[in-house]
Chains A and B, each alone.
Chain A
């Protein structure tokens, strides 16, 4: 079964750091365009970051604070988050983006919650 499973979420104080993981089964992350998408309570989803081959892309709101990476040997993707703010509080999903230029997300994990509060 093709599956993405996030982990690493949890309560963090403003200014703190956290590393999220996304373990994949049934697909090879390095062969796909992979993203992190977050969703604050009651809001629409928000694209955060994408890794495609050796290229990485970030939303302006997280650029310089978040780093996306991948461990091919473990078939796992990461999101290192730093200088966390209250507005970063959300459920973070890893998602597989379509190949090519159409840019849709056709496989999602279950998400991991990141509350940011003192």
Chain B
């Protein structure tokens, strides 16, 4: 199975900060990389698919980049509603696999 490794596992940031989360695949997945946001007790919500395509309705402060094995999710200016856990997911190889998550907390 493809292993997805996120870093950091958690971070503390302030409203207005630029935040970057990294996801690394154990082998090349081209751009078959998706990002989700999860609030406590809620289901994951799709933010970005195909590495850099913003899902409809997602604010433009979210962006994604990367290809091959290294990917990033960036929040250009963190808002109060962005404090959550973020997961990456690869969809190039079966079984589709997720990262372990990055928790973004308020500093």
Shortest C-beta distance, A76 to chain B (Å), equals 18
**Which positions 54-109 of chain A face chain B at CB distance < 8 Å?**
57, 59-60, 93, 95, 98, 101-106, 108-109
Report yes or no: A57 in contact with B32, Cβ–Cβ below 8 A.
Answer: no
Which residues from chain B contact A95 at a C-beta distance below 8 Å? 43
Report yes or no: B44 in contact with A102, Cβ–Cβ below 8 A.
Answer: no
Q: How far is the CA of A76 from the CA of B12 in the complex (A)?
A: 41
Shortest C-beta distance, B11 to chain A (Å), equals 17
Chain A contact residues, majority secondary structure? loop
Query: How big is the A interface, by class?
Result: 20 to 34
Chain B contact residues, majority secondary structure? loop
Which residues from chain B contact A101 at a C-beta distance below 8 Å? 91
Which residues from chain A contact B92 at a C-beta distance below 8 Å? 103
Report yes or no: A108 in contact with B34, Cβ–Cβ below 8 A.
Answer: no
Task: Please give 10 more A-B residue pairs, beta carbons under 8 A apart, in addition to A44-B4, A102-B32, A104-B46.
Answer: A44-B100, A44-B101, A46-B98, A93-B43, A93-B44, A98-B49, A103-B34, A103-B91, A105-B34, A109-B43
